[in-house]
Structure 1
Amino acid sequence: MAGAVLWTRTLQPPARPVLPDGCTDLIWSGGRLLVAGPDTRPQSVEGMPPGTALVGLRFAPGQGPAVFGVPARELRDRRVPLADLWPAGRVRELTERLAAAGAPGSAAGVGRLLEETAAARLREGTGEDGRTAAVAAGLARGRPVAEVARAVALGERQLHRLSLDAFGYGPKTLARVLRLVRALDLARSGMPYAQVAAHAGYADQAHLAREVKLLAGAPMGVLLAPG
């Protein structure tokens, strides 16, 4: 499925929070299917014991609603059982197939089923709104909201409503989240923080530090610390 990324994780102490990235995830763990909505703050995993294995399919910003059948704003900052969104019989059948594919550590078989299921949902529905990818791309490049709205032939209020439904939050918040993702990627590559700020679109290093603390809940140095 274009734009979706399969991932695996086995929780080990210290428990690192999940940071906002604008994405929505379908997660298989412990025999359960969960949907992780788009976040505006770090999400703790401390309720899960060490050794918990997870396999997930991460949907690019704006893809989630077409797969899960609900506006992204209804999932913002939430973790929801898939059975709350899809018919119980369909979730039960998928759960049985995933269990038969092996433990969560068997990422290949589990991931393939998750991808097939998501692709089938897209074929059944109305598909993605073609404007959402353009909006996300424009905001990720640091374009002003008004310019992005014009590029997709919408007024700013219309863009705000589209963004709430597609991404879970308005375009300004989405832009901040995508900028954070870029900043973290640059910092992980070893780039000095002052250069990270400039390349990611912050006014200066102090602005970078404030935004990282607000959205990620900790200073950059803590987020990048090994362990």
Structure 2
Amino acid sequence: MGDLHLENIRREYSSRQLGRKDLPTSPIDLLNQWLQEAIELKVNEPTAMIIGTATMEARPSIRTVLVKEVLDGKLIFYSNYKSRKGRQIEQNPQVAATFLWHELERQIHVEGRVERLSEAESDAYFDMRPYKSRIGARISPQSQPIPSREYIMALFAAESLRYVGRHIPRPDHWGGWAITPERIEFWQGRDSRLHDRFVYTRQADDSWSIERVAP
């Protein structure tokens, strides 16, 4: 395959703007507002969040998860504790995350510290999940090599039969995490690449400073 030249692919951003007068004291209020607007306007996967983790040796990796709650100023998501991200979070709880809504020409970038939810909180959410999702969480060795799709489907079928008509317990290897933001940037696309960017930084007293940064 030959080279791929992409230097002439451009688009102008002009549908919205973001000014200092639009900013609440807390970035969580604006994050909630933008997230709600993305949901109401039916953008593709409005709750999708790209999350970056790193090992103790500072080797980064990224993937996409779904935010399930914004609770007490924290971003809540669920996954397999033994997955690649789970293992990296255990080594290094500092994470970065991005919401990207192309249709709204908006991005939110979050940096902060992540910790596990309590077992009771994880149990409560797990019991709300669809039957097939609960079965999948029990049998998937997430991020680990498997021999074939047929292998994982066989595990799924066997576990499904095992729990027909029964309560499906949350496996110990699956549960929730909460990101406590320390820095949040709001990005609104604008004409001529002169985008609006505002950064909130958490202070020692848990208040937030606000700065406009150059596009």
| TM-score, with structure 1 as normaliser | 0.23
Which has the higher Rg, Structure 1 or Structure 2? 2
Return the structure number with greater strand share: 2
| TM-score, with structure 2 as normaliser | 0.24
Return the structure number with greater helix share: 1
